[in-house]
Structure 1
Amino acid sequence: MVFSSILFLFIFLPAVLAVYFLVPKSWKNVVLLIFSLVFYAWGEPVYIILMLFSAAFNYVMGIDIDRKRLDPKAARNSLLLTVLVNLFLLGFFKYSGFLIDTVNQIFHSSIPYKELALPIGISFYTFQTLSYILDVYWGKVKVQKNLISFSLYITMFPQLIAGPIVRYADIEPQLKERRVTLAGFGLGTEFFIKGLAKKVLLANNLGMVYTTVQGMEIGSFSVLTAWVGIIAYTLQIYFDFSGYSDMAIGLGRMFGFQFMKNFDYPYISRGITEFWRRWHISLGSWFREYVYIPLGGNRVSVPRHIFNIMLVWMLTGLWHGASWNFVVWGLYYGVLLLFEKYVLAKCFDRLPGWAVRIYTLLLIVIGWVFFSNTVLSDAVGYLGNMFGVTTGGLADSTGLYLLKTNLLLIVIGMISCAPWLYNQFKRLLRRAPWAAVAVNIVLWLLCVAYLVYETYNPFLYFRF
């Protein structure tokens, strides 16, 4: 079940809201937990067992680590066991096939394996459990002894399958005490509609453009076609993922939770370093707190700092998917970040803002080529198309047609990547609140109409 579906919008969400606000305060966590399990089991009933095991195991181990606090060695051993079990589950379901394929390719062997369906959201809830366990071990949070509250933290449906990755330290007080106000509920509804419009009206339509181009044989289309396709994908993945994050944040507000912002207009960044402060903020924060800083961060020698950065970004790439294109994509950003820090940092201050932004966007677009093509040779071939190395000319009828029929959509997408449009809406909300309500109603109706009549409704981050 996805947020951008008629089933969720008109059956599941109204049902959970009705029950949630009817039951007394002491039952609200139970209601959210039950509905969260139903939400997850709707598409993958078998993997609900895996999620329940993860919640129960980490609940017990958190208490065990806290109990052994006065015996550092015993506590460390419990921590190590807990981390290994969590990483084993993630690795078995997400990376075992990739590992066996790699071994078969290197040693020309034929080790058989059964390809398993990836449990939806496993990367997200595994990182949430790890953040909890590590924070308990470090003494940053108190251990959670209420199984219902802990299970809700792991399974909460608004942010279960696509984040943001919620740290236990940020949500602990809200699991105990939270309040839903009319203003908060209204703000949550506005966030949800904004995210739904991003996903349904922009991401889905832009996705059809890139799907068309990606379905062509490498080298058979022009430079123009290649650029139209990858620009459409660049916009699609932003509106797809940030739209889902906005919907998650909005749903959280409806139930009294406040989740962290996950995107902050990343395509207006001045440099790759700033881009990663604005893109998938919760993931970047997680790797910084639980991998980069424990490794020593930047308070080490230059060679060690380079190692830390490259390791973190290799893991970031692998987190996104079990194939070499994601590894290359992660290392690509690691190299760019190091290059900016040690070579370009001083140059940026002397360059005009527009030049730095064009440089940034060009590198981001190239990065999405590796991200979107799971076969590495296809990514290299697509880059060749973009820069005229392996191509069917500078322009062709396909590229001109795609540009002509989607130019308005692409322009609207580009404008929506900057804060200007949303700032105008906020001004309208202050000056004429009823007009702002009307805008939200129109967006809602357009989204529903699209979902009723269209069948193309993918979600890119389901595979993570």
Structure 2
Amino acid sequence: MIFHSLDFVVFFLLVTAVYWRLPHGGQNWLLLVASYVFYGWFEPWFCILLGGTTLVDWWVALRMDPDPSRSADAFAHPSPSERVARRRWLLGSLVSNLAVLGTFKYFDFFVGSVQSGLGALGIEASLPLLKLALPVGISFYTFQSLSYTIDVYRGRLRACRSLRDFALFVSFFPQLVAGPIERAEALVPRVLAPRVFNLVVARDALVLMAWGFFKKLVIADNVGIIANRVFAMKDPGFEMLWAGVFAFGVQIYADFSAYTDIARGSARWLGFDLMKNFDHPYLAVSPSDFWRRWHISLSSWFRDYLYIPLGGSRHGLPRTLANVFITFLLSGLWHGAAWNFVLWGAYHGLLLVIERVWGAIRGLGRHPGRHRLPIWRALPQWALMFVLVHVGWLLFREGDAAMLWRDVTLVPGTAPLAERQAGYYLALIALSFSLPLWAHSLWTLWQGRSYSDRPAVREADVPTSTVAWQAVAVGVMFATILVLRSRTSLDFIYFAF
């Protein structure tokens, strides 16, 4: 079931119509059943894998934390023998989860790569491929569930005794398929706590969902048509290609952030506050600044569960650079079983390595990207970073090595004049569709925070003018959707990951 479908609208209205009439336990049962219906809408057998992941990690956590009466301090400081036992249980969780993920997502990729490598050496080989369908969202919920068992192993989190409540944490439908990748320490307490309807939060949630639908149906799908047509061309010129790359940059941000906004809005309507996943990434002025703004839930996951365990920045510059590069190489592989994603991850890892080395040379410390810059320096750095990010999007989007080599060797001004003009025209169209994104970023900077970050307040504290503006904003966005929405509906890009 996809967000921008009539099926989801009817589904969500039915769930919410019943949800707030139930006691807390009934709400959790309803959300759990609804989440499996939502996921099974894609393919019913996907629910078997989701349920298997849930059962394994719930059981493993209970084995690591068998005594609920034990004090939190004693649990956080286990004996050496207990730590060894926990490590064995954690290893079981890691092996089972990564084996399932590897089988469905990466087996054919690695076998195919080995076969191609042998062929390049003149060795004929016909290796078996599984050709399994990739379950939607498997990378997201696998990482979310793994973060839970790792935190229990570390003693930071007590095991959830209720299978129902843990299953809801893993399968919560607003963020199940494409995130944000939530942490158990943030989401499980919301599952366990009673939830009361708040009209102010519900209105904010509606605005956030409307903004998400607007970004998906008006911006992402329209510029996505441009990007798809350019990348389908047999021999685009330099100007046409980079118009397509810019269009894809607009598309992927509008598309992915739209999913996040709809997910966060629908979760807020149900009494849950999901983490922020984007913070205006195209305003970034450095590679590290970009990754503090883009797909925040994934970048923080890799930081906490891979980069820091590898040693982080605690063992000198060479080790730090290696840890950064390895982390982003695997982050690229997480996105997809293809070499262009690995190359994209390596590219961003290299940018961060260069930033760290440059920061060390200039004596800026461990986090050179966090220094506030005067406007006269920030603007050139922003422009450079914007270009570098879009070079990365070319690597991300172009899945064929021969076509990528063609793309990077194009020379500006060599295409026929009519094609160059068409490229400029398409870039202007993509820019015009992106203007609401830029306006929203600048408005948020001016206001200090957006409606998506506003804490819950009492109904009496909200001025009537705010309510009126919210109603106008929602009305304008839905009217614009009716007029300008793309007639070609595209899937969310991150559904493929």
TM-score bin (small chain): over 0.9
Correspondence for 1:8: 8
Correspondence for 1:73: 84
Deviations 1:279-336 (A, max 9, x none): 0011111111111111110011222112111110111000100111111110111110
Correspondence for 1:285: 300
Once the two structures are TM-superposed, the CA of residue 418 in structure 1 deviates from its matched residue by 4.1
One-letter code aligned to 2:222: N
Correspondence for 1:120: 136
Question: Does 1:322 find its partner at 2:342?
Answer: no
Q: Partner of 2:20: helix, strand, or coil? A: helix
Correspondence for 1:382: 407
Task: Sort the Cα spacing of 1:110 and 1:394 in 2 relative to 1 into closer, same or farther, 3 A.
Answer: farther
Matches within 5 A, 1:129-278: 129-177=145-193, 178-217=195-234, 220-278=235-293
Correspondence for 1:399: 423
Q: Partner of 2:409: helix, strand, or coil? A: helix
Task: Sort the Cα spacing of 1:74 and 1:60 in 2 relative to 1 into closer, same or farther, 3 A.
Answer: same
One-letter code aligned to 2:246: I
Q: Partner of 1:118: helix, strand, or coil? A: coil
One-letter code aligned to 1:45: P
Question: Does 1:444 find its partner at 2:478?
Answer: yes
Deviations 1:246-280 (A, max 9, x none): 11111111111111110000101111110000000
Correspondence for 2:26: 27
1:198/1:243 contact within 8 Å kept: yes
One-letter code aligned to 1:110: S
One-letter code aligned to 1:320: H
Matches within 5 A, 1:398-417: 398-403=422-427, 406=430, 408-417=432-441
Cα-Cα RMSD: 2.6
Task: Sort the Cα spacing of 1:388 and 1:436 in 2 relative to 1 into closer, same or farther, 3 A.
Answer: same
Matches within 5 A, 1:50-89: 50-67=49-66, 71-89=82-100
Could you tell me the TM-score, scaled by structure 1's length? 0.92
One-letter code aligned to 1:460: I
Distance 1:89 1:183 in 2: 42
Distance 2:478 2:58 in 1: 40
One-letter code aligned to 2:35: S
One-letter code aligned to 1:31: L
Distance 1:333 1:140 in 2: 31
Once the two structures are TM-superposed, the CA of residue 420 in structure 1 deviates from its matched residue by 5.1
Correspondence for 2:41: 42
2:221/2:488 contact within 8 Å kept: no
Could you tell me the TM-score, scaled by structure 2's length? 0.86
Question: Does 1:433 find its partner at 2:467?
Answer: yes
Deviations 1:60-98 (A, max 9, x none): 111012239652222211111111111111111110010
Once the two structures are TM-superposed, the CA of residue 435 in structure 1 deviates from its matched residue by 3.0
2:250/2:430 contact within 8 Å kept: no
One-letter code aligned to 2:423: G
Correspondence for 1:463: 496
Distance 2:403 2:439 in 1: 30
One-letter code aligned to 2:208: F
Deviations 1:226-247 (A, max 9, x none): 1211111111100100111111
Distance 2:61 2:91 in 1: 12
One-letter code aligned to 2:141: Y
Distance 2:463 2:139 in 1: 37
Which residue of 110, 114, 122 maps to 1:103? 114
Structure 2: segments with no counterpart, 5+ residues: 68-77, 120-124, 455-461
Question: Does 1:353 find its partner at 2:368?
Answer: no
One-letter code aligned to 1:51: L
Deviations 1:135-163 (A, max 9, x none): 00111011001000000001010000110
Structure 1: segments with no counterpart, 5+ residues: none
1:388/1:394 contact within 8 Å kept: no
1:224/1:394 contact within 8 Å kept: no
Distance 2:212 2:186 in 1: 22
1:165/1:283 contact within 8 Å kept: yes
Once the two structures are TM-superposed, the CA of residue 389 in structure 1 deviates from its matched residue by 9.5
1:265/1:419 contact within 8 Å kept: no
One-letter code aligned to 1:135: D
1:310/1:331 contact within 8 Å kept: yes
Q: Partner of 2:41: helix, strand, or coil? A: helix
- Percent same amino acid among aligned pairs? 36
